[in-house]
Structure 1
């Protein structure tokens, strides 16, 4: 027995993992490379892939929480920039990259996502002219879905009041920038459709970068506009900005101001003072929101809140891998048992007397058929002989002759064959085919010889 202490594989792996955990350089790494072996787990939503360059490669995984934030679909051969951390997965004892964010190298992720969604909705027919609804000429109530503060809402309201003061403006506040902007816009469009008196709906915001305008390129926003019963005018960004919302809406205006002009007929400027005060109020509200949002972001960036998934991430991955192994083992076990069962069935079939029984059954069936034929032939032969005898008996049967008009005379129960047997005053019995009669002889005449 050696005195050298040997570590278990698990203990060694745990030690290596602790080393990875302790290394600050591995907690937040930035890596670029090419995607290969990309596979999205249908059940969990995790994305497993390999990141490689010309000389080496590393296994990587992006959990569903991060994968759901991607604006594009990762594909094999795509060059990307990845941010994440490197650690050891204890189940397999190998290190891998845990991706938190992913951006394409070259064309931006937002551009790729825009092209992918535009092609999808175009194929479904959401851009077809036949779906476009007419914009009413004299709207009574105009709904506006945009941010409650900023230049866009000011321009829209100002333009409407200047050109058509008779119309009421109903604002449906929505976030127009950030992760929560798309759901907020969808909710505002749906709320507008619940108010039956809204005649036309303006959806838009002011100018900005593609990131600032991205909420209007989200699929849920496009479908909400398409499904709206109210005609929708889109006015997003500047004249050069084009979004998915512009393609789906019933009328695309170059700017929020142009959208307001399209929604109403021309009129004079009205209520400028009111709009100025409203703008001041919106600015104060926006300033308060920015202040509170700054406080919230500071709290969210604290380590326990910023990375809560790292506490249970190994268990999520272990559960996912265990589930895959269980499915594979179940499939293999079932196939193995089916093969064994088939082998047993073949052996039983080879050793059973079933074949001999089937042969005897066939032989018995043949003999039975032959016997049936012989019996039928014998019966037919006997029937033919019987019929011949019947015909002979019928030919000799006196009753048959009587049917042709003859009768039989009996005297004291004996057949009278000649008049010589008769005497006058003698009682006779005459039999006919259908009965008999009693008679008395009154006279007898005998034929002379030679008479017919």
Structure 2
């Protein structure tokens, strides 16, 4: 029976696993997830009901879905099975990972949502208030869809005097998101609308995708005009809904949010006039009382006496101020005279410190120069040693490497007569056939 050291046995197991299993695709649930920020490496365990598998993804923080990963999440990974010799354990070196059960669009939606939220685009402090009584409303939608018909019908029913300006734009398909963003920017350049409604009718995730594009979200965010997002049905949520100043579940609801009905406005105006009348009567009563108090006051009956009293008080305050300032000036002059010798001593001390620092700087530069030169020579020596130990240096002395099907041939027992092999030389490669074995 052959005897192994621990290292030898581990290397043998490593060779068997890596050569016979190689790359695999595995599905499981994440646990013990750790993301090391300085390196970007991801460490986690994949598990199912019966087993666990340690996984590592080097620089995994750069992958698209890294920010979505967390414990308990089901994922599908692709990578190479290997052995970590130091710990004597096998693990999966992951090269690609994706959430199981999520389509590409859903992943893209979550990534953009997380990115914009971290930038603050969804924060309430950026939400602009909607105008109370808009007279001119801009609409960005398809000119042929049901959305524009619903918006116009409800706006005219609730407030016939409102002016509606349609900027038609495609709401799905290639280039739709750029057209929607351009329409929002054009309304802001035009500047003569009080409110914008941006949206379309319902549809699938693919149909509504133009409103999930970053270019539309940023156009809504930079708009100086308040925006109501009205995309799809009640259950549909898009990135545009999160960025907009107000979300409407449907285009019809957006129209109802945008304007109050005539009856509601008439009631509000009546209440406003009533409150203004009461406030005005209270103000008139307060002013009448004030005038009556002034008529009875001493100031109006003996105005000159009041003025003479103020003159005497002013003269007294001027005299006190002159005396106080004179004393303060003399005190400051005395203190300055005492401080002059101290400043001269301090100036000499600073000059000595400056000369000492210059001397230390020169000495430090010399030491650093010697240190850098020593390290450069050491590195050059290491480089020469590495080149001497490298496989290509060995090949240059007349040796060769033989491979069969990509694997290194270490024994004649690993090949058969007639099989083809690749022979790697210091310069170039040869194709050969085994003619005889010994």
Query: Does TM, normalized by the shorter one, top 0.5?
Result: no
TM-score tier, shorter chain, comes to 0.3 to 0.5
Q: Which has the higher contact order (CA 8 A, sep 6+)?
A: 1
Using structure 2 for the length normalisation, give the TM-score: 0.39
When the two structures are superposed, what TM-score results if normalisation uses the length of structure 1?
Answer: 0.38
